[in-house]
């Protein structure tokens, strides 16, 4: 049995304390507690509270990662306190002392308690977070494909803990960014076949300058999420449905940027960075750069371009020509495009249902990593309903949740 | 002073459903909760919700299973209401957005559950409670103009007017420490059970019997408090719940010899007998030395017999729980579990519209005892209970509000009293015990003497100890002297609530000299319909707790021997 009944050990926790009534600045407070190493950081905080200082403030209830109350930062990384083992937390601590702080991107009210209403819930309300059901409402249940409900269950599994919001880098730069949790919530309705407003929802989120195209693909939210909701993956799915299904051309140039990105890779096998910006604004061809909109954008980007030239990140000659890769490689890349785009329907990766293999892959099948995997082998459709099984294991493997045809970056 | 037609305390499934129903009936509605609504413990309900929606099913069959599950202590008129209204309620939930999993025809899929004569449990993977709670909260956000929300407000007492009618509450804003009186024509208690009076328990730290104790102190009778459900599959160390859905999907229970010991006590239903039956069978294996684990205090739950793909899709949450909280991959090896405190069937006595004997005071959900669960609740009937009686309470309270004026009540005196009580807790000298020490002792005491097996001596020991703890709690001290998020002082108040719940539980258990449902007295091992086919009510009188009895309503199912 892997189950452990280990004896208690001593752990020291360093808590970020803040008492808004004292007039004092936040400070650090250390306590040493005794618990078995596989018990949680929350239990450590509660033991410190029960034994030494009842004034330690933390929201908590279920102790099993379902109520979403105890979002904090452990050693600088967002996490649920109840979902973080003490031994793991000790290993990742700088000096052997487990550091517990309130989440970021939200104002601190007291100790480890942040104001989620002011940030998180406001953003949730921004995405019209309720079903706008197709009419007429049937007498019994809506008849919908089984896999569609399993699919939206991944975002339904969000417990609103705020861990992804805490460390969203885009939100740090643009506090108005709708953010990972709310956009994942939006997918919960966009992906729900009972919802009547798919286009309106997507158009709204695409046109908003702080909307779905504000995400910078940093993967922070994917790592932070204790429930495998994969918020960034949901944002990518919103983008794909908005651009390829509804052809929404947004004022933020998200759609054009995505189109430019994809065609540059198709044509050259690698990204041609110098062409990306003009094409995103001026139109998706070599002539794009001569469009007034592209000129304007290039002009405003001049300081960045000059800086890059001065630092020798680019050379004028290099910028004028695409990167070259061997012909065979280019053909392989283009084969990927052909294969994916010739499919009748898009395969979506959903970590919630297809996060692990049914059985370990048989040795004769080569295990490809990440993005190429589902293309290299036709997914084993019969056993996996409609969702392909990624060849590599669970959510932690960094397997790219985007489908190949549309990975716009911004 | 804020005033509402209907004020709901607690924002889990029962509370939110009541709020939406009352608002739809046109009342001015507010919902108050000591935590943000989505943190409510309904979120942890995993397995699903029962309703006879299959074309082959009939609500009478659901009702009979529920009556039998209750060991014939459930009131059959209430059970008929719940089961006959279940299909429409579940469809309503589906229509507002709950992502119930489907079969290949696109209809709601149903899974097997304990004590049910057929597959009758609709589900969303194993996060059904979470999905439902979040969807209801979506509706609260949608209807924010008609339902006012007081999130993170802690209720300290119920207000009653001179005629003894409920007229509002006193509450504390957890964020600021501000105390305020709220006037209401009707108050609906929907603040859950009292699991934290036990240690360990599957219940969250917020489940401290607030509503039960407040109603009791206001003079409402508590019914069948001795009926405490032990769930058969909880993690040994932490008490965390492994859903009955696991057994519904086919998992086995094994003792140290690898035997499916349920053959002995439930040869037909095996692992899917009622929870009281399964928990008792497990406890017997453990007590007789056939348990597993280092000290033999556990039982194996073997999920590996369920196809792995199915487990990953339909039991995803417990795969995570096993990995994260026990270090076990349940798809590859058995996990060690044991019975753990999970639910209280008893609570504030109500009728089928949620009315308590106190005018203007309603109760719905685990806080209430209608009674649809009697001596033992069937799995997946609690979500149903919250919705049906939450809705009915909301509707009834709204209708009542339409016919009466705002009650006149002098709230100032009680407000002052509650403020003084909190100030005095904060000012207590550090010469007694800490709140946390008393709470731990209470939990362990209850888990020893008022658990799966009980007897007179143990219960009397518990009763005496509770008396002492009650004294000690009067002087228990705290550290936090602040106002912003002073969770410490709220903990002291909650301790008082839990002690009231524990005391009435033990009183009921001493009183009931028979074995029925979750109450198994080793000194009275048989069910005794002649003397004990009745409810036990405990009311707080001038001299303390008073016991009385009320009849069980029987409509169409006469008591019979219970076999699975």
What 8-state DSSP symbol labels residue B11?
Answer: -
Residue pair B370/B350 in contact by the 8 Å Cβ criterion: yes
pLDDT at B131: 97
* pLDDT above 70: residue A398: no
Dig out the tokens for B402 from the structure.
Answer: 């339409």
Residue pair B211/B367 in contact by the 8 Å Cβ criterion: yes
Average pLDDT, integer, range A403-407: 37
Q: Report yes or no on A410 lying in a domain.
A: no
Nearest to A50 among B321, B436, B485 (CB): B436
Q: Report yes or no on A138 lying in a domain.
A: yes
- Cα distance between residue B480 and residue A19, in whole Å: 11
Residue pair B271/B247 in contact by the 8 Å Cβ criterion: yes
Same domain, A15 and A74: yes
Indicate yes or no: CB of B326 within 8 angstroms of CB of A3.
Answer: yes
What's the CATH code of the domain at A85? 3.10.20.30
Complex confidence, ipTM: 0.95
pLDDT over 90 percentage in chain A: 67
Average pLDDT, integer, range B359-373: 98
What's the CATH code of the domain at A180? 1.10.1060.10
Domain boundary among A69, A95, A114: A114
Q: Does residue A136 have a cis peptide bond before it, meaning omega lies within 30 degrees of 0? A: yes
> pLDDT tens digit string along A146-161?
989 989 999 999 999 9
Among the residue ranges A331-335, B218-222, B323-327, the one predicted with the least confidence is B323-327
Q: Report yes or no on A330 lying in a domain.
A: no
Domain boundary among A245, A262, A296: A245
Considering A6-20, A267-281, B304-318, the range whose residues carry the highest mean pLDDT is A6-20
pLDDT at A4: 54
Average pLDDT, integer, range A231-248: 94
pLDDT at A382: 37
pLDDT at A350: 62
pLDDT at A388: 38
- Cα distance between residue A211 and residue A190, in whole Å: 15
Backbone φ, ψ for residue B452 (5° rounding):
-65, -45
Q: Where are the alpha helices (DSSP H) in B179-315?
A: 210-217, 245-248, 262-265, 275-287, 308-314
Among the residue ranges A99-103, B189-193, B309-313, the one predicted with the least confidence is B309-313
- Cα distance between residue A237 and residue A152, in whole Å: 12
Which residue of chain B is at minimal alpha-carbon distance from A64? B240
Q: Measured in whole angstroms, how far is the alpha carbon of residue A229 from the centre of its chain?
A: 8
* pLDDT above 80: residue B113: yes
Looking at every residue in chain A, the average pLDDT score rounds to: 85
- Cα distance between residue B482 and residue B70, in whole Å: 46
pLDDT at A402: 36
* pLDDT above 60: residue B553: yes
* pLDDT above 70: residue A245: yes
Please, which pLDDT band fits residue B512 given cuts at 50, 70 and 90? very high
* pLDDT above 70: residue A408: no
Same domain, A108 and A215: no
Measure B485 CA to nearest chain A CA, in Å: 7
* pLDDT above 70: residue B384: yes
Dig out the tokens for B138 from the structure.
Answer: 């979506």
Tell me the pairing of strands B544-551 and B299-302: unpaired
Q: Is A117 on the interface with B (CB under 8 A)?
A: yes
Nearest to B39 among A21, A69, A145 (CB): A69
Average pLDDT, integer, range A271-283: 89
Q: pTM of the predicted model, to two decimals?
A: 0.91
> pLDDT tens digit string along B29-40?
999 999 999 999
Nearest to A61 among B94, B204, B317 (CB): B204
Same domain, A108 and A122: no
- Cα distance between residue B324 and residue B301, in whole Å: 17
Q: How far apart are the first and last CA of chain A?
A: 47
- Cα distance between residue A159 and residue A227, in whole Å: 8
Same domain, A288 and A304: yes
- Cα distance between residue B270 and residue B256, in whole Å: 17
Average pLDDT, integer, range A255-284: 91
Average pLDDT, integer, range A70-89: 97
- Dihedral angle, C-alpha B171, B177, B179, B182, nearest 10 °: -40
Q: Report yes or no on A347 lying in a domain.
A: no
Of B120, B149, B172, B275, which one is the catalytic site residue?
Answer: B275
Average pLDDT, integer, range A237-265: 92
Same domain, A240 and A278: no
Domains and CATH numbers, chain B: 3-227+345-402 (3.50.50.60), 231-340 (3.90.700.10), 411-523 (1.20.58.100)
Backbone φ, ψ for residue A343 (5° rounding):
-70, 150
How many domains is chain A built from? 3
Q: Measured in whole angstroms, how far is the alpha carbon of residue A20 from the centre of its chain?
A: 33
Same domain, A123 and A221: yes
Indicate yes or no: CB of B102 within 8 angstroms of CB of A110.
Answer: no
Average pLDDT, integer, range B252-271: 96
> pLDDT tens digit string along B442-491?
999 999 999 999 999 999 999 999 999 999 999 999 999 999 999 999 99
Q: Report yes or no on A385 lying in a domain.
A: no
Domain, as residue range, for A156: 117-245
* pLDDT above 90: residue A293: no
Same domain, A87 and A160: no
Chain A residues 296-355 within an 8 A CB cutoff of chain B: 352-353, 355
- Cα distance between residue B529 and residue B355, in whole Å: 28
Residue pair A58/A70 in contact by the 8 Å Cβ criterion: yes
* pLDDT above 70: residue B388: yes
What 8-state DSSP symbol labels residue A120?
Answer: I
Nearest to B482 among A55, A138, A194 (CB): A55
Chain A neighbors of B127, CB-CB under 8 A = 66, 153, 156-157
Q: Report yes or no on A283 lying in a domain.
A: yes
Residue pair A49/A81 in contact by the 8 Å Cβ criterion: no
Average pLDDT, integer, range B299-313: 93
- Cα distance between residue B548 and residue B252, in whole Å: 42
* pLDDT above 60: residue A389: no
> pLDDT tens digit string along A172-207?
999 999 999 999 999 999 999 999 999 999 999 999
Which residue of chain A is at minimal alpha-carbon distance from B200? A63
Same domain, A95 and A124: no
Same domain, A108 and A125: no
Residue pair B99/B134 in contact by the 8 Å Cβ criterion: no
Helix (H) or strand (E) holding B17: helix B13-24
DSSP of B219-252, one letter per residue? TPPEE-TT-EEEEEEEETTT--B--THHHHTT-E
Chain A neighbors of B106, CB-CB under 8 A = 143-146
Indicate yes or no: CB of B482 within 8 angstroms of CB of A117.
Answer: no
Q: Is A30 on the interface with B (CB under 8 A)?
A: no
Q: Report yes or no on A147 lying in a domain.
A: yes
pLDDT at A374: 39
Same domain, A36 and A97: yes
- Cα distance between residue A28 and residue A45, in whole Å: 14
- Cα distance between residue B80 and residue B430, in whole Å: 53
pLDDT at A395: 37
Same domain, A208 and A127: yes
Establish how many alpha carbons lie within 13 A of residue B307's alpha carbon, considering only the half-sphere containing its beta carbon: 7
Domain boundary among A49, A80, A114: A114
pLDDT at A5: 66
Residue pair A149/B100 in contact by the 8 Å Cβ criterion: yes
Same domain, A137 and A241: yes
* pLDDT above 70: residue A370: no
Indicate yes or no: CB of B141 within 8 angstroms of CB of A130.
Answer: yes
* pLDDT above 80: residue B346: yes
Number of Cβ within 10 Å of residue A194's Cβ equals 23
Average pLDDT, integer, range B404-427: 95
What 8-state DSSP symbol labels residue B41?
Answer: G
Looking at every residue in chain B, the average pLDDT score rounds to: 96
Average pLDDT, integer, range B236-265: 94
Establish how many alpha carbons lie within 13 A of residue A139's alpha carbon, considering only the half-sphere containing its beta carbon: 1
Identify the CA nearest to B187 among candidates B353, B355, B25: B355
pLDDT at A352: 53
* pLDDT above 60: residue A406: no
* B275 included as an active-site residue: yes
Q: Report yes or no on A132 lying in a domain.
A: yes
pLDDT at A317: 80
């Amino acid at each position: 049995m892997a189950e452990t009944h280990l004896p208690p050990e001593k752990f020291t926790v360093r808590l970020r304390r803040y008492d808004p009534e004292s007039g004092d600045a936040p400070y650090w407070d250390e306590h040493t507690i005794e618990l078995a190493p596989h018990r949680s950081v929350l239990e450590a905080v509660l033991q410190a509270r029960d034994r030494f200082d009842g004034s330690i403030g933390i929201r908590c209830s279920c102790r099993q990662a379902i109520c979403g109350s105890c979002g904090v930062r452990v050693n600088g990384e967002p996490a649920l306190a109840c979902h973080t083992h003490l031994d793991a937390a000790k290993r990742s601590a700088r000096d052997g002392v487990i550091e517990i702080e309130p989440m970021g991107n939200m104002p601190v009210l007291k100790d480890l308690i942040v104001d989620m209403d002011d940030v998180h819930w406001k953003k949730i309300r921004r995405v019209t977070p309720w079903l706008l059901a197709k009419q007429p409402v049937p007498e019994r249940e809506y008849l919908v494909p089984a896999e569609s409900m399993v699919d939206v269950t991944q975002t339904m599994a969000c417990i609103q803990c705020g861990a992804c919001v805490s460390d969203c880098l885009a939100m740090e730069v643009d506090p108005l960014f709708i953010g990972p949790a709310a956009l994942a919530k939006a997918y919960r309705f966009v992906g729900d076949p009972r919802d009547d407003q798919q286009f309106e929802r997507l158009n709204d989120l695409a046109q908003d300058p702080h909307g779905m195209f504000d995400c910078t693909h940093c993967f922070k939210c994917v790592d932070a999420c204790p429930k495998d909701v994969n918020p960034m993956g949901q944002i990518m799915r919103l983008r794909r449905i908005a651009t390829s299904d509804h052809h929404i051309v947004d004022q933020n140039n998200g759609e054009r940027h995505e189109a430019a990105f994809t065609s540059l890779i198709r044509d050259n096998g690698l990204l041609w960075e110098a062409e990306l910006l003009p094409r995103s604004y001026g139109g998706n061809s070599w002539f794009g750069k001569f469009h007034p909109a592209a000129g304007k954008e290039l002009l405003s980007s001049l300081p960045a371009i000059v800086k890059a030239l001065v630092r020798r990140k680019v050379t004028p000659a290099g910028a004028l020509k695409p990167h070259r890769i061997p012909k065979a490689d280019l053909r392989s890349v283009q084969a990927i495009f052909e294969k994916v785009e010739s499919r009748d329907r898009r395969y979506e990766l959903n970590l919630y249902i297809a996060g692990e293999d049914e059985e370990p892959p048989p040795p004769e099948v080569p295990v490809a990593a990440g993005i190429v995997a589902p293309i290299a082998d036709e997914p084993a459709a019969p056993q996996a309903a409609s969702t392909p099984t990624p060849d590599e294991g669970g959510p932690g493997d960094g397997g790219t949740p985007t489908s190949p045809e549309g990975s716009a970056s911004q | 002073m804020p005033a509402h037609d209907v004020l709901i305390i607690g924002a889990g499934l029962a509370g939110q459903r009541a709020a939406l129903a009352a608002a739809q009936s046109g009342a001015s509605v507010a919902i108050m909760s000591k935590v943000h609504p989505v943190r409510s413990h309904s979120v942890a309900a995993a397995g699903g919700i029962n309703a006879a929606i299959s074309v082959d099913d009939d609500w009478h069959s659901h009702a009979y299973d529920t009556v039998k599950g209750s060991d014939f202590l459930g009131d059959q008129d209430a059970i008929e209401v719940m089961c006959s209204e279940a299909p429409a309620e579940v469809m309503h939930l589906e229509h507002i957005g709950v992502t119930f999993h489907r079969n290949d025809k696109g209809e709601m899929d149903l899974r097997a559950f304990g004590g049910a004569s057929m597959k009758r449990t609709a589900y969303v993977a194993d996060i059904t409670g979470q999905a439902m709670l979040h969807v209801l909260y979506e509706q609260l956000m949608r209807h924010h103009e008609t339902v006012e929300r007081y999130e993170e407000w802690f209720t300290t007492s119920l207000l009653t007017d001179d005629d003894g009618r409920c007229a509002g509450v006193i509450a504390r804003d957890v964020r600021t420490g501000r105390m305020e009186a709220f006037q209401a024509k009707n108050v609906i208690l929907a603040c859950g059970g009292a699991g934290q009076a036990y240690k360990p328990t599957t219940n969250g730290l917020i489940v401290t019997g607030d509503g039960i104790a407040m109603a009791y102190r206001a003079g409402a009778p508590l019914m069948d408090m001795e009926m405490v459900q032990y769930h058969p599959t909880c993690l040994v160390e932490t008490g965390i719940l492994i859903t009955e859905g696991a057994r519904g999907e086919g998992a086995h229970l094994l003792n140290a010899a690898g035997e499916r010991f349920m053959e002995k006590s439930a040869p037909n239903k095996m692992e899917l007998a009622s929870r009281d039956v399964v928990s008792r069978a497990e406890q017997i294996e453990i007590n007789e030395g056939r348990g597993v684990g280092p000290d033999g205090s556990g039982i194996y739950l073997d999920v590996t017999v369920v196809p792995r793909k199915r487990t990953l899709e339909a039991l995803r949450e417990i795969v995570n729980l096993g990995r994260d909280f026990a270090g076990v991959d349940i798809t590859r090896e058995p996990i060690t579990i044991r019975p753990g405190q999970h639910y209280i069937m008893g609570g504030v006595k109500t009728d089928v519209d949620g009315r308590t004997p106190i005018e203007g005071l309603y109760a719905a959900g685990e806080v209430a005892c209608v009674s649809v669960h009697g001596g033992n609740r069937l799995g997946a009937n609690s979500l149903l209970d919250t919705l049906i009686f939450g809705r009915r309470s909301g509707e009834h309270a709204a209708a009542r509000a339409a016919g009466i004026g705002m009650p006149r009540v002098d709230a100032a005196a009680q407000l002052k009293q509650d403020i003084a009580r909190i100030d005095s807790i904060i000012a207590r000298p550090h010469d007694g015990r800490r709140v946390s020490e008393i709470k731990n002792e209470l939990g362990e005491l209850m888990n020893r003497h008022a658990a799966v097996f009980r007897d007179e001596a143990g219960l009397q020991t518990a009763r005496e100890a509770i008396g002492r703890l009650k004294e000690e709690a009067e002087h228990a001290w705290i550290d936090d002297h602040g106002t912003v998020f002073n969770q410490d002082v709220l903990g002291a108040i909650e301790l008082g609530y839990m002690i009231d719940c524990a005391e009435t539980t033990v009183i009921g258990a001493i009183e009931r000299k028979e074995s029925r449902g979750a109450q198994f007295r080793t000194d009275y091992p048989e069910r005794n319909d002649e003397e004990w086919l009745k409810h036990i009510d405990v009311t707080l009188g001038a001299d303390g707790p008073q016991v009385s009895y009320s009849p069980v309503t029987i409509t169409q199912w006469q008591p019979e021997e219970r076999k699975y």
